[in-house]
Amino acid sequence: MWKTVLRRILIMIPQLIILSILVFFLAKMMPGDPFSGQINPNTDPKQIEALKRAAGLYDPVPVQYARWVGNLFKGDLGTSYIQHVPVTSLIADRAVNTFWLSLFSTVISYSIAIPMGISAGRHQDEWQDQAVQIFNYITLAVPPFVFYILGIWLFGFTLGWFPISGSISPNASGFWGTLGSEIYHIILPGTLVALITTTSVVQYLRTGIVDNKVEDYVRTAHSKGVPEKVVFNKHILRNSLLPIASSFGTVITGLLSGSMIVESVFSYPGMGKLFLDSIGQRDYTTLTALILIFGFLTLLGNLLSDIIMSIVDPRIRIK
Amino acid sequence: MEKQSDLLLDIQHLHTAYRLNGKFYDAADDINLTLKRNEILSIVGESGCGKSTIASSIIGLYDHKNTKVTGDILYNELNLVGLNENLFNKIRGDKIGMIFQDPLASLNPLMRVGDQVAETLYYHTDMNEKERHNRVIELFNQVGMPKPEETFQMYPFELSGGLRQRVVIAMAIACKPEIIIADEPTTALDVTIQAQILDLLEDIQKQSQSGIILITHDLGVVAETADQVAVMYGGQIVEKADVKTVFEHPLHPYTRSLLNSMPQSEDEEEDLHVIQGTVPSLQDMPRNGDRFAARIPWIPASAHEENPVMHEVEPGHWVRCTCWKTFHFQDEVGGE
């Protein structure tokens, strides 16, 4: 078990190196440099040239790469061209917001998807199953931004139940007041994200149950006189949860990339909105830093999936 | 005279029908069989003859929505047909043990094999966890598992086919059932392991004085282990007798054809007999007349009974239809 985890973590090292090289060259290829934002018509081009040389922009590429990686380890992701603040501090606030939004929608998503998948799988082709399938088709077919805008229109404008933008109300104060306001702002976007991310989990679970129900080992369990309910929970359901465990990592990565759309629609100050804003403002340092972080989180998500798999499925453990 | 208690299972007029495209078709058609204590009853026939249908009807494991079972399956005067599920779960695993064909598929891949055997004990005995563990080790010893303690902690994928089938057998006999149903227990195993598993089944039967229903398409297995044989074709029993009679004095054309298509080591030169055609599918099975007639077309229709029934041609030897009286193999007439 631990050997598998260790081996899996070691595999991540070359992945990280390749990721960092790719991101580094992406950054190099982008136009502009740290001084681009500081030029005004009166600046002497020679002075800028001197500054660039001092900053090491004319050093050999491997040297630049090494320095960049060194800075990464020090937590220095560079300075935003546009906002003139360290990217690290720019991202830090946003990351916290995105983290809570993602956590909220993950929890809600699984708490909706698992009962739905079980119900559909258990009552295959009956009305419960058909209702779940219709729900799935709708959430899969409607583009997320349409879904969010409809949500804002219905629950924000028409019913006025939830705030429609931001992550906190400006007049929130005190610990509980702040927390309450933050949660209040997360509920609508978080739930809408959760609703449209249930599809894959529901389908995995439904198919798993439908397939496992007719497996020979289920018949064996019945032939031992194990009560129907126990056969379902202990044999069918447990084995059907495997694909869900393995997709857990990808779902989390999907939430991060999905956060771009929901955060823009809700003007929610998270990493996804920062990413889109950076593209719009051509803030390349911030952009590269975010690409690096998203890439790293994807690798982490996959690591998580594999670790979960090795816990739940004995067949893939390495001895 | 037999004592009443020697009769373990009395199947009378069993019909098991499956729903196909909205209509029910009998996959087991008027089955009459008895299983006695200390007896190995073999049900033999080609694939699709309804052998496994009988097994699943006895143990009550079928798709209840699309299957209709009528007739009587009497176990100690308790009719298993239409028995309440809760009562049935008390009998399954406890009084009737079941061994399936594919030992890998019939074990849960994510559960330790020891726990899977112990699960049977959990539902049918008052043993605590430690007692169950000890009983499983005892069973593993009984079925000839080389390292019982280590095996207990293993997962099915870590065991060989033969060992997996031993686990399945240990599971079936855990509660010392009176009836063991073995559905093609050796089909998925290689020949050397087959013999070991059959010996094991015979040993278990002798020790526990249980009755075994052995379902197989392999006449070699039948010859080696069975006491009584029922030959099935198209959902019906066509011949029923003790094993000696079936092998030495077979009557029904299907039985004779089956025996004739078995390889004989003495005459390597001779071509194997092939039964023409295939078993018709459930929907295409003729419901009137002799169902086997289509596969022996050289026998005139007049030789068959209009509605073939079982005849007791000598005590304990039952044959369906009277066509056996004039039956001959095609090549016996020559040139046809």
Q: How confident is the model at residue B1 (pLDDT cuts 50, 70, 90)?
A: very low
- Mean pLDDT across A41-55: 75
Residue B257: is its pLDDT beyond 60? yes
| Nearest-CA distance A156 → chain B (Å) | 47
- Mean pLDDT across B167-179: 91
Q: What is the pLDDT of residue B336?
A: 37
Q: How confident is the model at residue B304 (pLDDT cuts 50, 70, 90)?
A: confident
Contacts of B219 (CB under 8 A, 6+ apart): B44, B258, B259, B262
Q: Which residues of B touch A313 (CB under 8 A)?
A: 110
Question: Residue B333 is which amino acid?
Answer: V
Residue B115: is its pLDDT beyond 90? yes
- The pTM score is 0.80
- Greater model confidence, A56 or A226: A226
Question: Residue A229 is which amino acid?
Answer: K
Q: Do A217 and B108 touch (CB under 8 A)?
A: yes
Q: What is the pLDDT of residue A256?
A: 74
- Mean pLDDT across A119-131: 90
Please indicate if any CB of chain B lies within 8 Å of the CB of A228. yes
The second-level CATH assignment, the architecture, of A87-316 is Orthogonal Bundle (1.10)
Provide φ and ψ at B250, rounded to 5°: -70, 145
Residue to mutate among B61, B63, B83, B89, with most A CBs inside 10 A, is B89
Q: Do A315 and B155 touch (CB under 8 A)?
A: yes
Please indicate if any CB of chain B lies within 8 Å of the CB of A227. yes
Q: Which residues of A touch B123 (CB under 8 A)?
A: 224-227
**Contact map slice: A 46-85 vs B, CB within 8 A:** none
Residue A38: is its pLDDT beyond 70? no
Provide φ and ψ at B330, rounded to 5°: -55, -45
The percentage of residues in chain A with a pLDDT greater than 90, rounded to a whole number, is 12
Rounded to whole angstroms, how far apart are CA atoms B121 and B94? 8
- Greater model confidence, B264 or A198: A198
Q: Which residues of A touch B98 (CB under 8 A)?
A: 220, 223
Residue B212: is its pLDDT beyond 90? yes
- Mean pLDDT across A14-22: 90
Contacts of A188 (CB under 8 A, 6+ apart): A151, A152, A155, A156, A161, A162, A163, A164, A266
Strands (E), chain B: 7-20, 23-36, 40-44, 67-75, 78-79, 96-99, 179-183, 211-216, 228-233, 236-242, 310-314, 317-320
Q: How confident is the model at residue A318 (pLDDT cuts 50, 70, 90)?
A: low
Least confident of A24-38, A145-159, A210-224, B75-89: A24-38
Q: Mean pLDDT across chain A, nearest whole number?
A: 83
Please indicate if any CB of chain B lies within 8 Å of the CB of A211. no
ipTM: 0.85
Homologous superfamily of B4-84+217-260+273-333: P-loop containing nucleotide triphosphate hydrolases (3.40.50.300)
- Mean pLDDT across B98-108: 88
Q: Which residues of A touch B150 (CB under 8 A)?
A: none
- Mean pLDDT across B40-63: 89
DSSP strand pairing (B236-242 vs B7-20): unpaired
Residue pair A46/A318 in contact (Cβ under 8 Å)? The answer is: no
Question: Residue A186 is which amino acid?
Answer: I
Q: What is the pLDDT of residue B260?
A: 85
> Chain-centre distance of CA B68, in angstroms?
20
The helix-helix angle for A242-265 and A144-151 (nearest 10°) equals: 60
| Nearest-CA distance B211 → chain A (Å) | 17
Task: For chain A, give every domain's residue range.
Answer: 87-316
Task: For chain B, give every domain's residue range.
Answer: 4-84+217-260+273-333
> CA A141 → CA A134, A309, B66, distances in Å?
11, 30, 35
**Over the stretch A249-301, which tens digit does the pLDDT of each residue have?**
777 777 777 788 888 888 888 888 888 888 887 777 888 888 888 888 888 88
Task: Identify which of A224, A228, A315 has the shortest CB distance to residue B157.
Answer: A315
Q: Which residues of A touch B180 (CB under 8 A)?
A: none
Q: Which residues of B touch A241 (CB under 8 A)?
A: none
The helix-helix angle for B161-173 and B191-208 (nearest 10°) equals: 20
